[in-house]
Amino acid sequence: MKNPSAAAGDSVDRDRLWRRLMEMAAIGARADGGVNRQALSAEDARARQLMVAWAEELGLEPNTDEIGNLYLRRAGSDRHADPVLTGSHLDSQPSGGKFDGAYGVIAGVEALEAIARAGVETRRPIEVVAWTNEEGSRFQPGAMGSAVFAGDMDLPSLLPITDRAGISVETALRETVAATPGITTRQAGFPLAGYLEAHIEQGPRLEAEGLTIGVVTAIQGSRWYTIEVGGEEAHAGTTPLAKRKDALKAAVAMVGALQEAMADPTDTVRFTVGRFEVGPGSPNTVPGHVLFTIDFRHPEMATIERLTGQIEPICQANAQGCAVTVALNSDTPPVAFGRDVIDTVRRHADNLALGHMDMPSGAGHDAMHIAKLCPTGMIFVPCERGISHNPAENATPEDLAAGARVLAAALVDLANR
């Protein structure tokens, strides 16, 4: 018989993978072709029900843990061996695409089906995981599921966090998990033999190079902040400018000064203000309250420290008499993957005659938390014009299948060690 990795890779079915991706994309589908399937929402619960239905169809064992990560387990021949894990997330941005996250989960399901159809047995179990709340758009911070699994966040501190409607993680998690009743619960953090996550690149490099596979070597670090500016509400028609504490005017000055301080001729620094809320939001009241967020990213810890160290002083210097609070919501250091999984992914891309390149990830992924627990790696496939976090996100069935082939082959390899 052909070697088992090659047999598994060859059994990946492009159309079956695409069909599952489109079936998932229908859950939370937006009229513009995108997806709104935010973490722990009714749509997220339906996505999990679909996963459990696939598990039944494929004879996989579904189970969950205290933060709602959902696992589908394929047994190995050695009942006592630690599993190899693959997957990503099913939650999306509010105006997200069909592939960010969902691809990694569904490529994992496809890999397990391909392995079974190829008649391949592995020594270790292989499990597909859908991590809870990777995006962090509804509940901050993101990557809650993988961070709890890795011990980087503790569950009790996450449960009281609320979304903008005041619904807590605790309530939303309870309702979401209740939608897939009767499945076993185990404790997050169980031992892993390896973790491999497939994902669309979310950037333009593979497409520009005409290559199919990104062999991911590292993930840049990130820090998220919430800044609140407290001024004084006042009548817009009568209050002299000198007497105002205009929270919006101060916040705009802060953001302008921060953008100047973060300017980087090498275009390596990533600084984004993605949320900006003004209260009370009335045309004829001087704004008394502003909340804005910062997403800061860089590959080097020293630069992260140096530049984020300027955030609070710059905000204070531009407060214009308003009160300012700067809260750090998440702090994820840069992560470098180990040589072993990197080499494994590259070797299987070579075996499958797929063009590939080594590359770091600009986006965050659950793999950044899992990397400290076990040998970890990622596989990227191209996406159209590098567009992501956008309803227009797109990728070709061929490229997505190629990534799933590398995934299936590499999983068999890792699960037979």
Nearest to 290 by CA among 300, 279, 298, 301: 279
- 42 Cβ contact partners less than 8 Å away, ≥ 6 residues apart: none
Tell me whether the omega of the peptide bond preceding residue 265 falls within 30 degrees of 0, making it cis: no
363 binds ligand GLV (CB under 6 A): yes
Looking at the Cβ atoms of 54 and 131, the one nearer to Mn ion is 131
Assess contact for 60 and 42: CB atoms under 8 A: no
Looking at the Cβ atoms of 246 and 295, the one nearer to ligand GLV is 295
Looking at the Cβ atoms of 117 and 385, the one nearer to ligand GLV is 385
The residue with its CB nearest to ligand GLV is 364
Looking at the Cβ atoms of 231 and 382, the one nearer to Mn ion is 382
Residue 408 has phi, psi (to 5 degrees) of -60, -45
| Three-point CA angle 363, 213, 133, nearest 5° | 30
87 binds ligand GLV (CB under 6 A): no
Could you tell which of Mn ion, ligand GLV, none binds residue 364, using a CB distance below 5 to 8 A set by kind? ligand GLV
Q: Which stretch binds Mn ion (CB under 5 A): 54-62, 95-103, 109-117, 176-184?
A: 95-103
User: In whole angstroms, what is the distance from residue 12 CA to residue 17 CA?
Assistant: 8
Q: Which stretch binds Mn ion (CB under 5 A): 99-107, 227-235, 245-253, 262-270?
A: 99-107
User: In whole angstroms, what is the distance from residue 296 CA to residue 287 CA?
Assistant: 26
Number of residues that bind ligand GLV (CB under 6 A): 3
**In angstroms, what is the minimal distance from the CB of 25 to Mn ion?**
14
96 binds ligand GLV (CB under 6 A): no
Looking at the Cβ atoms of 43 and 135, the one nearer to ligand GLV is 135
367 binds ligand GLV (CB under 6 A): no
**In angstroms, what is the minimal distance from the CB of 224 to ligand GLV?**
9
> Which one among 221, 334, 364, 382 touches ligand GLV, defined by CB under 6 A?
364
**In angstroms, what is the minimal distance from the CB of 263 to Mn ion?**
25
97 binds Mn ion (CB under 5 A): no
Could you tell which of Mn ion, ligand GLV, none binds residue 382, using a CB distance below 5 to 8 A set by kind? none
334 binds ligand GLV (CB under 6 A): no
User: In whole angstroms, what is the distance from residue 38 CA to residue 41 CA?
Assistant: 6
> Which one among 34, 83, 87, 101 touches Mn ion, defined by CB under 5 A?
101
Assess contact for 230 and 247: CB atoms under 8 A: yes
Residues comprising the chain, all counted: 417
135 binds ligand GLV (CB under 6 A): yes
User: Contact residues for Mn ion (CB under 5 A)?
Assistant: 100-101
Q: Which residues are at the interface with ligand GLV (CB under 6 A)?
A: 135, 363-364
